[in-house]
Structure 1
Amino acid sequence: MAIKVFLANSQNNQVLDCEPGFTGECTLVAESRIRLDAKWKSGINNAAETIDIVTPKPDESIFITDLLLTSSKKVANSTIVLQFYDGTNTEKIMEIEGETAPVEFSHAFAGGLPGWKDAILQVITDQAAMYVVTLVAYIKVSEDLTKTYSEWSADR
């Protein structure tokens, strides 16, 4: 016999931690919000170019949870840059040289990597012969929880 149980906020009786399960019925959830809310996008650089991997909605931000980046081959004097850019401010996350071996990089950010208001996640390659694939797992952050660049910079 099933017992109908739910968790509610004592101040406003809003149901907490209840998500529709595979049957469509509300299921009590005890899971990380990152696992529940994560989305993913990928992009390919196949020239010396800058591509936008994840662009937040206006006035919102993104929170990076995982990153996978690979290149097809080593290329002399090649560099791959991963950065946040909002049209004014740029913050380089990392720079990888790809001249001694193909790049194979993956990382799960245990604490996450937050961006700031309108900051786009970009990948920049500087060699046309380099074929780079980037896969990013991220969470969309709502406008009311999003920080400006100044607030974000002060917190790091």
Structure 2
Amino acid sequence: LIVRDGGRVLVVDTAWTDDQTAQILNWIKQEINLPVALAVVTHAHQDKMGGMDALHAAGIATYANALSNQLAPQEGLVAAQHSLTFAANGWVEPATAPNFGPLKVFYPGPGHTSDNITVGIDGTDIAFGGCLIKDSKAKSLGNLGDADTEHYA
């Protein structure tokens, strides 16, 4: 997800690889021509954190659920530079999400993974949940390898 926020860009999730993520960053530079201020990732799977080194090489601040950062090395992934923490009601603690602008980050509890978070864009009807949120026409929940199937539906 690419979000234009005034004179900057915010990114949610990487591509599967550093090369693919670098291609996305190049596209942003060519088409939007604004700096990427930060990136937040929705959970510790390859399709969401596989391009962390590309973000870091570009000088982009990266954020993830503290649990995602804990799980990332176990999954062979690079952790984000900053850890998000969440209040009892699920909303991100503002002090851990500085300069997030219109991004509203929420931890709904375990679902697709134990660490999955969602990102909304304030003032819109957009809710982005990585692999957690499915289209109403989806025939399955997808990859359940790390899912908490008791709470995910």
Q: The TM-score by the shorter chain falls in which range?
A: under 0.3
Larger Rg: 1
Give the structure with the larger strand fraction: 1
Give me the TM-score of the superposition, normalised by structure 2: 0.25
Give the structure with the larger helix fraction: 2
Give me the TM-score of the superposition, normalised by structure 1: 0.24
